[in-house]
């Protein structure tokens, strides 16, 4: 990398070159976390010539963060602007996606517990997390029944939460 600087950028000026779909549950967890504590890490972009849509930057890493901020109503994102080749952009993006630790189911369970303790009902929690109400109802049922062993097995990945 030749140079690096951080600044607030308009999300509309950033082009996502290598978009990927993401799991709704993981996205809900990311969005809830950003909504609660803010963005922990800026996105990575590289500057380029403007295109017909008016974008000035190519996203290197941070699609999920941008999508979460957008869903929360933000129009800007803190970004580290780097100067790298096209090949390096795709390589960096690939490495981030492969090396990313998968969030534990624990995060979802704790988020549901936190929202329930905050006075929200199952439907509101489902809406806030972008999940089906029946799914949240299932989690709340396990929590109410004290199914700690079952939840622990879900957290270890030996059985699915669904």
Between these two residues, 88 and 12, which has the higher pLDDT value? 12
Q: Where does the chain show beta strands of DSSP type E?
A: 4-10, 14-15, 43-47, 57-61, 76-82
Between these two residues, 51 and 148, which has the higher pLDDT value? 51
For residue 23, name the pLDDT band (cuts at 50, 70, 90). confident
In degrees and rounded to multiples of 5, residue 61 shows phi and psi of: -145, 135
**What pLDDT, on a 0 to 100 scale, did the predictor assign at position 1?**
46
**What pLDDT, on a 0 to 100 scale, did the predictor assign at position 154?**
67
The tokens describing 48, both together, are 């380029």
Task: Reply yes or no on whether the pLDDT at 155 is more than 70.
Answer: no
**Section 26-49 average pLDDT:** 86
Sheet holding 43-47, edge to edge: 4-10, 76-82, 43-47, 57-61, 14-15
Listed residue (35, 29, 40) closest to 108, CA to CA: 29
Task: Reply yes or no on whether the pLDDT at 135 is more than 90.
Answer: no
In degrees and rounded to multiples of 5, residue 96 shows phi and psi of: -60, -40
**What pLDDT, on a 0 to 100 scale, did the predictor assign at position 49?**
85
């Amino acid at each position: 990398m030749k140079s690096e600087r951080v600044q607030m950028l308009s999300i509309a000026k950033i082009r996502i070159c290598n978009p990927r779909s993401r799991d709704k549950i993981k996205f809900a967890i990311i969005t809830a976390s950003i909504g609660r504590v803010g963005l922990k890490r800026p996105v990575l972009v590289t500057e380029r010539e403007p295109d017909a849509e008016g974008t000035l930057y190519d996203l290197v890493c941070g699609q999920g963060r941008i999508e979460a901020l957008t869903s929360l109503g933000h129009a800007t994102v803190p970004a580290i602007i780097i100067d790298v080749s096209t090949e390096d952009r795709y390589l960096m993006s690939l490495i981030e996606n492969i090396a990313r630790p998968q969030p534990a189911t624990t995060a979802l369970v704790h988020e549901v517990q936190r929202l329930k303790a905050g006075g929200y009902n199952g439907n509101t929690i489902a809406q806030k997390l972008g999940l089906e109400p029946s799914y949240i109802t299932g989690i709340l049922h396990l929590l109410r029944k004290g199914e700690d062993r079952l939840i622990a097995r879900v957290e270890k990945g030996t059985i699915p939460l669904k």
